[in-house]
Structure 1
Amino acid sequence: MQRIPNSTYRLQMHKDFTFDDAAAIAEYLYALGISHVYSSPYLQAAPGSMHGYDVVDHQHVNAELGGEAAHYRFSIKLGENGLGQILDIVPNHMSLGQENHLWWDVIENGSASRYASFFDIDWQPQEERLRDKVLVPILADQYGVVLSRGDIRVTRSGNCIFVECSGQRLPVAPNSLPAILGRAADYAHSDILNFISASFGRLPIPSFGDRRRILDRNRDKIVLNSLLHRVCLEEDAACQAIDRAINELNQNHDALDDFLNQQNYRLAFWKTADQQLGYRRFFDVNTLIGLRVERDYVFEETHSRLIEWIKRGVLDGVRVDHPDGLRDPYEYFQRLRAAAPDGWIIGEKILEPGEFLRESWPIEGTSGYDFLNIALGVLVDPAGLARLTDVYSAFTGEPTHFPSIAHDKKLAVTQEALGSDVNRLTSLFVDICEQNRDHRDSTRVEIRRAIREIAACFSVYRTYVIPDRDEITPEDRAIIARAIRQARENKPEIGADLFDFMGDVLTLRVTGRLESEFVLRFQQFTSPVMAKGVEDTAFYCYNRLTALNEVGADPARDGYTPEEFHAYCQRMQATHPYTMITLSTHDTKRSDDVRARMAVLTEVPDQFAEAIERWSAANDRFKTNSLPDRNSEYFYYQTLIGAWPLSPDRARQYMQKAMREAKQKTSWVANNQEFEDALNAFIDSTLADEHFTGELAQFVRSIEPAARVNSLAQTLMKHTAPGVPDLYQGGELWDHSLVDPDNRRPVDYTHRYNLLKELRSGLTIDQVTARMEEGLPKMALIRAALHLRRHNPLWFGANAEYAALHATGAKAKNVLAYRRGNNVVTVVPRLTLNLTGWEDTTLELPEGRWRNQLTGEVLNGGSVSIATLFEHFPVALLALEA
């Protein structure tokens, strides 16, 4: 029987919140109503990792979290408290570094490594100087400059010889050791050292994929290392000779350069990565290398521990990080489902507006971004959003056509951060054209520009065309055709024939070995283009209402109608009734409460416009050389409104990250110190100005009642719409966090458990609502909804029909209501800031006796006044009594 959670609670595990810390809150989580803890990745990650996505070892539990013993205690504690466990997993990539023994073996042995085929490395790139080498872009300056400064050195520890630079240690190729050991043998007059040196030099260089010879070579290398270890232990003269040879090598830059050129990696200035990197990364993060998880032995190596946990019942399911980075997501999910037939499997698939998860995928659903976007979208005022377009344009002078902004930012990221990926695709398509006489005269420059333009014109993260299975859906054909058509229009100078030929390859009208490889790699490429170009750039540039700038959203869209919300929920109930639904994640740019507050701005666009104009005029004296600019200032005021109260430290940290992501005035790779200093000074001065902060606080107070209604409304929707509700850590009370690391601040669970105990003691609803400032109504709502789900899981399951209910009367548009099966009715208000009363507005309840789970009131079926429903609490959760 499939192990479907009733609800999940996301915990971010790191060295400051370990397995034992998580175990300590198990009792609280169960009392709240949670059924499953949903843990961030906790296989061994890079040292100091605060998120766990930089895995270095799939066979071991992260030692910084407490290791195997603490994991066992944590798992036992969850079971004792009736809690299951879901784990976030990372199949797409691993972190580099000495802790990753697979990677260490690769850079030591190159394509002759046992693990060379584990990673997505191009061993034969276009540039001949990089063939059979891995680029390691870690130097702070040009290679020759760093070498001349003496900042690259060879060192020894026991029998192991390393290259050290930029605070990192790298192995040396066995075949290069004679340059050191041969000289040392002469100095020590050691025959055995001379034998070891010569033997290292004679190690074969098997061709890539020759598994038997690679294993034989590795065996011989191990034997030689053992001999060298023994020599270093037993012959002090030999050790001294080796150290002498190393010291001489370090003093001779020409000899050291020659030695470094013998390695299976090429040390390089960190800026070379964007254009010359020879391996697929996670987006543009050089330290996260792509895995070839489509290969059976790689899947087994990276998933054996996870599958063991699922089979033993330690885990009930997994959330798969970034499946769009995989070569064939469908095949991957099939393999995972076969290994865990009863597990709850969720994919972090980002869906663009109007896009839905492929029904053929053998998983329960997505990680919930699609829900959080439509849940907020139905709570904003479309007319107010349209007015905010004018407000934003007038205040900043910035362009407001988001599709053009997104296209330009995607195009820019293909030229800059993802340039090496484009180069790889270009070389592949050059070879394709060379084999086709109609296109062999297409130039590398034209091909590169065409690839960039088509990727920038993609409306979704990626398509799922699989050449080996001759598999392409009408949906994918339409997406590709639309991108090709738009690319042709945007770049007529390139020539329509090249775009059309590329479209024919992408849609399998032209096939072959190279063509298949291009299709698969291009699909892996468009995901980071969308993520880096839109989510991590355009979403920080187009700031009309930043609450709408969330993953998978269209920030230019003027909200969603109730009818669109109902249609979405009905489709989810029909196709993915056990998908994850959430409002905040570790990756959201703003928490649900920040977005709920900012949504109220659509109800007061003119007051907002007046306020920011007044604030800007008053704060102009705090600018330095007219910095920050108006767009950054507009973004700042929205941030303050959404997250208030906000300390200067939090504000500076967040604004620096946001402005660097925007890449308009500063960036991660080219810090503009003048701008950042001016921005920090502006933040400090404005937040120290009591007149400004007083006005800001008053503005927030004026919209806070409606903001809290929005928060309670979307919280109730999350717990009763089709799917499994997920709660991000700490979000059971008001939480006005911003993007990470702000949303990873410590959570006060002692305070939360004490509040929960008060709720369990029998507080009246009036006592609960009287403590609105503390967030007690939000916790009370979550507890009531979770316990209703716990005691009646079938009421929210695959057979629990979703049906819209429609209010009637003067304020009918301010009501969103729906029914789950025959047992649960949800009623929430919308657009409430200027709502003076419900007048004659009513809702027709199905027949029967309905108890409001939040107030205890009992209502009879038939026409019910909305004013009655919301008299004691802002939202209503009704359950049919037997």
Structure 2
Amino acid sequence: MRIPGSTYRLQLHQGFTFDDAAGIVEYLRELGITHVYCSPYLQAAPGSTHGYDVVDHQKVNEELGGAEGHNRFCTRLREVGLGQVLDVVPNHMALGKENHYWWDVLENGTSSRYTSFFDIDWQPQEERLRDKVLVPVLADQYGRVLQTGGIKVLRRGGRFLVECAGQTFPVSPTSLPVILARAAEYAKSDTLNFLAASFGRLPMPEYVDRRTTITRHRDKVVLFTLLDRLCAEEPGVCNAIDRSVAELNGNLDALDDFLNQQNYRLSYWKTADQQLGYRRFFDVNSLIGLRVEREHVFEEVHALVLDWLQRGILDGVRVDHPDGLRDPLEYLQRLRERAPDAWIVGEKILERGEFLRESWPIEGTTGYDFLNAAAGVLVSSQGMEELSKVYQNFLGSDFSEELTNFSVLAHNKKVSVTQEGLGSDVNRLTSMFVEICEANRNQRDYTRAEIRRAIREIAACFAIYRTYVVPARDEITDEDRAYISHAAEYAKQERQDIDGGLFDFLRDVLTMRVTGKQESEFLLRFQQFTGPVMAKGVEDTALYCYNRLSAMNEVGGDPGSNGLSVAEFHAYCAKMQATHPLTMTTLSTHDTKRAEDVRARIEVLSEMPSRFSAAIHRWARMNNGFRTARAGSGAMPDRNTEYLYYQTLIGAWPLSVERAQAYMLKAVREAKQQTTWTANNKEFEDALARFISGTLAHTPFLKDLEQFVDKVKDAGRVNSLAQTLMKYTAPGVPDTYQGTEIWDLSLVDPDNRRPVDYQERIRLMKALKKLHGDNIAAQVMARSDEGLPKMWVVHHALQLRRERPEWFGADAAYTPLPVDGPKSEHAIAYLRGDSLAVVVPRLTVKLGGVWREASIVLPRGKWLNLLTKTELNGGRVAVRSLLNSFPVALLVRKDDNKEQGNA
């Protein structure tokens, strides 16, 4: 196994292709990176900016340079000695005509060769949707769109399409007699009459009848070939077909009958929330769930990636959203069997106190757990408590218990999302559980409405993304039993209007106390459901509503907590070293709500809550004239939005009007308190945009804001250097998100996917290499505004990891170094093995630069601080002497230190 020493995440898209990536690999090597870590680059939907909307697993994305560009990129990586890790997407695919699996399903329904690839319910409760796929693309009710000519049938060569909503869909071959038989009369063509009848006689086998399905496909291809030939040889036939199509389009009743013969049902887009018959990625209608647990599906969608792993083109993969899979453990075991030497990490979101299952045969997660641990240890717990009061006080008349109690807020938002965006998933689970109750006489009198409400509630009461019970293997852990039982008891407390016995019965099915075929299916699907509930309710809603300290609002985080103690941080790292020493550690990803340096600056507010409170109240008075009055309610924007806005300005300043408006618009739509993505409140959104443009042109406010930022900027940079050095030296494989090797003040996507100025970073690397002399740390710090201190830390840590990988591997010890003295809580110190020591500060505003007698004890020997080039002896060392000339310390024993000629 070629374990990465470090990774560097690149977001590939048509504006940053394989050739662009190849152009910076020498710089990445110089920085100290061992592996480039690419976003998904199998063929995605046209114009994709992220690659998670795969439409063809057998091709490299043409917009990135296709197979030739990929070969050039991989060749260049080999030339400079870098490995490669790829992000793979096993849970879902994008819909559209580019996805030939999906196109085949729409054309042939349950008789498609690819029906088994997708997670579609062909037999829903509503009879009108049986054996059909709901396609919610219309801008209005179906009948109204039809009436206004918004749906048409087209002929292209020998093929027929349905056109609507700017899209095209295939026509079922068995519906073609409606068109071809009439055309045969006009053309007086016996051959066309024969073809019409033959299309109508095509069999309609279920997908499990593989032999008949293949025969049907062969016959269909032959018929279309004959039709193409007939049209080419007899132009009159084409004219007759076009006449028949025109008549069909001109007869609404006939067109409606024809559309009803298709294997899909065109519908108003709003129907998706309650009636969609396929599993999606969360609530994204255009991303359909794959049945990757079926071996033939696994093999087809992984063929290219597995080939690259086996040939050494890839050294590892990042598995996107394994919680969406029916059986994540089985999937990961199959992947491990096919790629035994690969470094595999999973995008598993862990809640506080939860750890990755040790039974999973992978190296770890993608690092959100580390991100939240690092954030937690850098905030003041006392300050967080005081910020609760600051937050409540600023909200004033907008104050509510829900807004200031994160656990209550998160629960309520999860319930809400089950009623709205995930309603179709709830309905599907409800129908299954109704059948289960009907088969159990003690439960058969529960109504559909009761069951629906109970499923919504118990799903919202889960404390984690999902459990991993597997009926086929009779597999359940005590951990899962505890989570399920807790959710059932919590649900009883929240919904005392529902018979507690129903929650008990749900618990018994979910823990396999009650078993059966339908019970097993319900259990597996319910486990796939709780993850989207958590993601949409918390990640995409609650984290934009609860704004006490927005730096804590990250995926897998607990914004309601008051942070971590140093001892708790050490315990987390020790646990990682013992269980998943090769997990990924990260501070920024393409999905983080704000970049690491923005969080680092906002964290400083926990050390100065009173000054922050005074500032935002002062700013609110200054900016009151830019708010817009609203009849019967408070002025716009509301106080909660304004509170988030000021934190955002502090964290990301300098920030342009355009970036601020784009971020805040996304934030308020995600919060769903004043406006949403699907129901825009234009009055509020316009008022918010005016407020932002007005405040950012208001000189007194800008002057005051900049003075405040100046007070927290340096402490924020120290926080950044502290978390950066911890990321590169704590247990795990560190990932650097593109561009974050220097200060990066990006916000949530798409802001964090803006072009990276690599020429600037290359320039800084050249400057870094030229530094020399006794005052080298001072030279670095003098260029703080350029981001050189961060690159200095990143470069030295990466070089050390590359030169001494044994200090960071699975066998490398992690040992906390006790800090003694009255200011001991302001430092974090630890050893890796016995030859590497790390010392970083925390809560530096409260420290005030006075370390007093704080000290650590280093193992005996001569030590070198790589960041200052100063030497010291082991034994008791004053913390102030270590951090006097540079904010963090990276120490190696000289007798174990290889030549550090890199700077």
TM norm structure 1: 0.99
Give the aligned partner of residue 820 of structure 1: 832
Give the aligned partner of residue 160 of structure 1: 159
Give the aligned partner of residue 808 of structure 1: 820
Contact 2:43 2:55 in 1 (8 A): yes
Contact 1:705 1:833 in 2 (8 A): no
For residue 869 of structure 2, what is the amino acid of its counterpart? G
Residues 563-585 of structure 1: CA deviation (Å, up to 9, x unaligned):
00000000000000000000000
Does the residue aligned with 1:858 lie in a helix, a strand or coil?
A: strand
Within 5 Å, which residues of 2 pair with 1:567-716?
A: 567-625=571-629, 626-716=635-725
Residues 297-340 of structure 1: CA deviation (Å, up to 9, x unaligned):
00001001000000001000000000000000000000000000
State the 1:841 CA deviation: 1.5
Give the aligned partner of residue 328 of structure 2: 329
Residues 367-386 of structure 1: CA deviation (Å, up to 9, x unaligned):
00000001011000011110
For residue 107 of structure 2, what is the amino acid of its counterpart? E
Question: In the alignment, is residue 868 of structure 1 matched against residue 876 of structure 2?
Answer: no
Give the aligned partner of residue 632 of structure 2: none
C-alpha RMSD of matched pairs (Å): 0.7
Give the aligned partner of residue 858 of structure 2: 845
State the 1:808 CA deviation: 1.2
Give the aligned partner of residue 778 of structure 2: 766
For residue 3 of structure 2, what is the amino acid of its counterpart? I
Does the residue aligned with 1:725 lie in a helix, a strand or coil?
A: strand
Greater CA drift, 864-873 or 79-88? 864-873
Contact 2:318 2:345 in 1 (8 A): yes
Give the aligned partner of residue 867 of structure 2: 854
CA distance in 1 between partners of 2:26 and 2:849 (Å): 43
Residues 270-298 of structure 1: CA deviation (Å, up to 9, x unaligned):
00000000000000000000000000000
Aligned length: 881
For residue 101 of structure 2, what is the amino acid of its counterpart? L
State the 1:434 CA deviation: 0.8
State the 1:768 CA deviation: 1.0
State the 1:799 CA deviation: 1.1
Contact 2:113 2:207 in 1 (8 A): no
CA distance in 2 between partners of 1:663 and 1:508 (Å): 37
For residue 798 of structure 2, what is the amino acid of its counterpart? L
Give the aligned partner of residue 880 of structure 1: 893
CA distance in 2 between partners of 1:652 and 1:682 (Å): 9
Within 5 Å, which residues of 2 pair with 1:552-563?
A: 552-563=556-567
Give the alignment partner of residue 787 of structure 2, picking from 775, 798, 807.
775
CA distance in 1 between partners of 2:400 and 2:611 (Å): 21
Contact 1:56 1:100 in 2 (8 A): yes
Greater CA drift, 225-234 or 171-180? 225-234
State the 1:151 CA deviation: 0.8
CA distance in 2 between partners of 1:858 and 1:14 (Å): 46
CA distance in 2 between partners of 1:780 and 1:191 (Å): 81
Contact 1:4 1:344 in 2 (8 A): yes
Greater CA drift, 246-255 or 121-130? 246-255
CA distance in 2 between partners of 1:3 and 1:263 (Å): 51
Give the alignment partner of residue 450 of structure 1, picking from 451, 454, 457.
454
Give the aligned partner of residue 900 of structure 2: none
Does the residue aligned with 2:845 lie in a helix, a strand or coil?
A: coil
State the 1:436 CA deviation: 0.6
Q: Among all aligned residue pairs of Structure 1 and Structure 2, give the percentage whose two residues are the same amino acid.
A: 66
Question: In the alignment, is residue 183 of structure 1 matched against residue 182 of structure 2?
Answer: yes
TM norm structure 2: 0.97
Give the aligned partner of residue 534 of structure 1: 538
Give the aligned partner of residue 517 of structure 2: 513
Does the residue aligned with 1:688 lie in a helix, a strand or coil?
A: coil
Contact 2:771 2:779 in 1 (8 A): no
CA distance in 1 between partners of 2:210 and 2:104 (Å): 15
Give the aligned partner of residue 99 of structure 2: 100
CA distance in 1 between partners of 2:212 and 2:332 (Å): 33
State the 1:859 CA deviation: 1.1
Does the residue aligned with 2:36 lie in a helix, a strand or coil?
A: strand
Contact 1:398 1:631 in 2 (8 A): no
CA distance in 1 between partners of 2:238 and 2:866 (Å): 77
Give the aligned partner of residue 475 of structure 1: 479
Does the residue aligned with 2:98 lie in a helix, a strand or coil?
A: coil
Give the aligned partner of residue 755 of structure 2: 746
Within 5 Å, which residues of 2 pair with 1:84-483?
A: 84-396=83-395, 397-399=399-401, 400-483=404-487
For residue 677 of structure 1, what is the amino acid of its counterpart? D
Contact 1:142 1:269 in 2 (8 A): yes
CA distance in 1 between partners of 2:840 and 2:642 (Å): 34
For residue 745 of structure 1, what is the amino acid of its counterpart? R
CA distance in 2 between partners of 1:447 and 1:3 (Å): 50
Does the residue aligned with 2:345 lie in a helix, a strand or coil?
A: strand
State the 1:844 CA deviation: 0.9
CA distance in 2 between partners of 1:425 and 1:570 (Å): 41
Give the aligned partner of residue 796 of structure 2: 784
CA distance in 2 between partners of 1:422 and 1:828 (Å): 48
State the 1:494 CA deviation: 1.2
CA distance in 2 between partners of 1:52 and 1:125 (Å): 32
Question: In the alignment, is residue 829 of structure 1 matched against residue 841 of structure 2?
Answer: yes
Contact 2:370 2:586 in 1 (8 A): yes
Contact 1:112 1:205 in 2 (8 A): yes
Give the aligned partner of residue 66 of structure 1: 65
Contact 1:94 1:289 in 2 (8 A): yes
Residues 151-200 of structure 1: CA deviation (Å, up to 9, x unaligned):
11111111111000011010000011111111111111111111111100
Residues 651-675 of structure 1: CA deviation (Å, up to 9, x unaligned):
1111111100000000011000000
CA distance in 2 between partners of 1:807 and 1:500 (Å): 50
State the 1:689 CA deviation: 0.8
Does the residue aligned with 2:890 lie in a helix, a strand or coil?
A: strand
For residue 251 of structure 2, what is the amino acid of its counterpart? N
Residues 801-848 of structure 1: CA deviation (Å, up to 9, x unaligned):
101111112211111100111111000000001413212211111111
CA distance in 2 between partners of 1:82 and 1:447 (Å): 58
State the 1:775 CA deviation: 0.3
For residue 844 of structure 1, what is the amino acid of its counterpart? V
Give the aligned partner of residue 549 of structure 2: 545
Runs of 4+ deviating beyond 6 Å: none
Question: In the alignment, is residue 756 of structure 1 matched against residue 760 of structure 2?
Answer: no
Does the residue aligned with 2:13 lie in a helix, a strand or coil?
A: coil
Give the aligned partner of residue 899 of structure 2: none
For residue 708 of structure 1, what is the amino acid of its counterpart? R
Contact 1:6 1:35 in 2 (8 A): yes
Does the residue aligned with 2:317 lie in a helix, a strand or coil?
A: strand
Contact 1:54 1:288 in 2 (8 A): yes
Residues 748-782 of structure 1: CA deviation (Å, up to 9, x unaligned):
11110111011112342221110000000000110
Does the residue aligned with 1:71 lie in a helix, a strand or coil?
A: helix
Give the aligned partner of residue 901 of structure 2: none
State the 1:99 CA deviation: 0.1
CA distance in 1 between partners of 2:379 and 2:222 (Å): 69
State the 1:208 CA deviation: 3.8
Does the residue aligned with 2:318 lie in a helix, a strand or coil?
A: strand
Question: Unaligned 5+ residue runs, structure 1?
Answer: none
Question: Unaligned 5+ residue runs, structure 2?
Answer: 630-634, 896-903
